Amino acid sequence: MSDLTDLSQGDLFAPPDPIVTCKTIDELHGLVRDCSKCDELAEYRTQAVPGVGPPDARVVFIGEAPGRWEDKKGEPFVGDAGAYLTELLEKIGLQRSQVFITNIVKCRPPDNRNPKTSEMDSCAPYLERQLALIKPDLVVLLGRFALERFFPKEKITEAAAVPRRKAIGGRELTFLPMLHPAFGIRRQDLKPEIERQFWKIREVLDAL
């Protein structure tokens, strides 16, 4: 016979978690838009930026957090880094409309400060549910914050362009970390290296 500790483990009497039980990306993005788990971000943002792209995309790109333009438009990667991302995608034969684009944190941090660990933790269930619903072949991690979220011990300089597998929510996914495209805006000399890393996406997709 099970004892009381067994019963309490399963949260038998807790209401179902709406993030985990939602069935579509649209439904999930509705929850993100209404979210106010991070007091400071919820107050500061114009709007939350859940993500954009086909709900069955083969590739998901994960950046850091919305910036000024993303916060205004409600769409990720629409500023300078976004224009560069679109250009990079086209170079490897992908249209922006074919891929799903989102961020670790869905609301803009004040003055573009780094997201706090507590904010990344609070926002993680949305990202995990996005991955569970989309079931992509490849997840591209743009920059240090995205890398550290999934592979906390790794350094972006060493991990960039090296594919790796990890189970998220019981499903094995392929991840490819790379430098954030914003680096290419700030440091033109890094553009060839960023482009080299981007070609790895094509290579991984073609090998699947």
Residues that bind ligand URA (CB under 6 A): 63-67, 70, 76-77, 79, 81-82, 103, 182
Rounded Cα–Cα distance for residues 49 and 47 (Å): 6
Q: Per CB under 6 A, which region of 41-49, 66-74, 135-143, 148-156 contacts ligand SF4?
A: 41-49
Please count the residues of the chain: 208
Of 126 and 198, which CB lies nearer to ligand SF4 in the complex structure? 126
DSSP conformational letter for 151 = -
49 contacts ligand SF4 (rule: CB under 6 A): no
Q: Which uninterrupted H or E stretch holds 127?
A: helix 117-134
Residues 174 and 206: beta-carbon distance below 8 Å: no
Q: Provide the minimum distance between the beta carbon of 99 and ligand URA in the complex, in angstroms, as a whole number.
A: 13
Report the partner that residue 41 touches, choosing among ligand URA, ligand SF4, none (CB closer than 5 to 8 A by kind): ligand SF4
Report the partner that residue 24 touches, choosing among ligand URA, ligand SF4, none (CB closer than 5 to 8 A by kind): none
Of 107 and 201, which CB lies nearer to ligand SF4 in the complex structure? 107
Report the partner that residue 66 touches, choosing among ligand URA, ligand SF4, none (CB closer than 5 to 8 A by kind): ligand URA
105 contacts ligand SF4 (rule: CB under 6 A): yes
Residues 153 and 129: beta-carbon distance below 8 Å: no
CA atoms in the 13 A half-sphere facing the CB of 36: 6
**What percent of the chain is helix, strand and coil (3-state, nearest 5)?**
50, 15, 35
Rounded Cα–Cα distance for residues 155 and 144 (Å): 7
Q: Provide the minimum distance between the beta carbon of 167 and ligand SF4 in the complex, in angstroms, as a whole number.
A: 23
Residues in contact with ligand SF4 by CB under 6 A are 32, 35-38, 41-42, 48, 105-107, 119, 122-123
